[in-house]
Amino acid sequence: MLEPTALQTDTQTLIDAINNMWILVVTFLIFFMHAGFAMLEAGQVRSKNVSNQLTKNLLTWSIGVTVFFLIGAGVDSLVGGAGFSPAFAAESAADWIGWLYGAVFAMTAATIVSGAVAGRAKLRAYVTYTILLAAVIYPVVSGMAWYATGLLGADGAVGSAVGMAFTDFAGGTVVHAMGGIAGLTAAWVLGPRIGRFNDDGSANVIPGHSMTFAVLGTLMLAFGWYGFNVGTSAIFNTENAFLADQLGRVAMTTTIAMACGAMGAGLVAWAKTGKVDTLYVANGLLAGLVGITAIPHTTTWWGAFLVGGLAGAQLPVVFSFVEKRLNIDDVCAVFPVHGSAGVLGTLMYSFVATEAWNGFTPDVGFMIEGFIAQFAGVAIIAAWTVLTTGLIWGAFKALGQARVSREHEQEGLDGSEHGIETYPEFGDEGTAVADGGTVRTDGGVVPADRRSD
């Protein structure tokens, strides 16, 4: 006999079920972004460090999400003014879903840092930092920004003083800029990879081992980003037509900013070198997405073009500044992609928001007040991130635990940290033979069926 149909079910129960399923699907999309980060970062490191980078991505999720469950979610609610409510104390299915939804955002911030310190950080140092980021650093940021009673919220100390709450719809600053700033700080404390800079400060290019992986990872991240932005928007509600308009706007602005980010980075790279750099285009696409992430729900259509284009265009400029002026070795360009792009988009909120424009007449008062609120939020989050990250990595460095030895770095972290080679058949010693053949003295391989020759 058939079970009762949905039409025979209480309306609110049906709405709750739809919302819960939507949030879970969105959560799974955001989790899939870790595959994109893994491919993007693996493609941008040298072949001798690929397994190390992949291991860091796996452990970031595994360890970080556990710590966020036990501690981080409680710190988030505490800082937000709701009291210490750890996830393990949840009493309903909706609370479990809410914790997981928050966890995928937290782990996105955490995994960004791994790309900046690639090729020379000790695994134990990175894992320890991930634990502290998931337990305290990120939850403090999310708590003060995403709760009305948090420091930056409408009812918080800063929000009340400024007269407007800090706006960050899906984590342009809370997740991405925070991760990018943390990555830059950690990379500065660690110092550059061997051979990255000459004695006179000039930079040497250390290319990644696979452009294919990098571009594939970029597109995987872009796919997951629809969960990041659009997923944050859509909650089923039969009485609120505004949400439907917001959903369409977020989908539109996310897509336009993504496209313009790629074009902006490619155009600036071409203007600087006469060549359209593939990696700049890929990272520019991501920078466009980061730029719009704080404000996709309010931005005008032309604002999406502007924010995305500028976020992409700043990428080659900021990367060159970090490399040539600051001499910081940010391996996967996490600061120009996530840090400066996230800050730029967040600060542009009040200038491109639909509320700021009545036809062609700008609301100057709204623009000024909104900029002050956004600037205050960015400054506080950046200061907290630099301070905590600098102290933690500085302590690792003082204890001699931040960086692998010179010998291990030259050997590659795959061997020194994990005892494996990602591509054993192409190793210097040529000892791995997949088909059962033997190794000749000249380095060639004798197939198994011709060993007697």
| Cα(224)–Cα(325) distance, integer angstroms | 34
Within a domain: 338 = yes
Within a domain: 449 = no
Measured in residues, the chain has a length of: 453
Check: CB of residue 115 under 8 Å from CB of residue 44. yes
Q: How many CB atoms lie within 10 A of CB 399?
A: 9
Span 302-319, average pLDDT:
98
Q: How many domains does the chain have?
A: 1
- Calculate what percentage of the chain has a pLDDT beyond 90: 80
Residue identified by tokens 């080679």 is 421
Higher per-residue pLDDT: 283 or 244: 283
pLDDT at 421 over 60: yes
Phi and psi at residue 435, to the nearest 5° = -100, 10
Name the band, by pLDDT with cuts 50, 70 and 90, for residue 168: very high
Within a domain: 451 = no
Within a domain: 448 = no
Within a domain: 452 = no
Phi and psi at residue 357, to the nearest 5° = -130, 120
pLDDT at 172 over 80: yes
Per-residue confidence (pLDDT) for residue 12, from 0 to 100? 76
Which residues make Cβ contacts (< 8 Å) with residue 392, sequence separation at least 6? Answer: 128, 129, 132
Domain that holds residue 217: 13-407
Within a domain: 444 = no
Per-residue confidence (pLDDT) for residue 452, from 0 to 100? 42
Span 370-378, average pLDDT:
97
The CATH number for 65's domain is 1.10.3430.10
pLDDT at 432 over 70: no
Per-residue confidence (pLDDT) for residue 442, from 0 to 100? 52
pLDDT digits (tens, 9 = 90+) for 184-224: 999 999 999 999 999 998 999 999 999 999 999 999 999 99
pLDDT, mean over the chain: 90
Which residues make Cβ contacts (< 8 Å) with residue 443, sequence separation at least 6? Answer: 430
In this predicted structure, which of 2-11, 29-38, 94-103, 176-185 has the lowest mean pLDDT?
2-11
Within a domain: 6 = no
Within a domain: 198 = yes
pLDDT digits (tens, 9 = 90+) for 383-404: 999 999 999 999 999 999 999 9
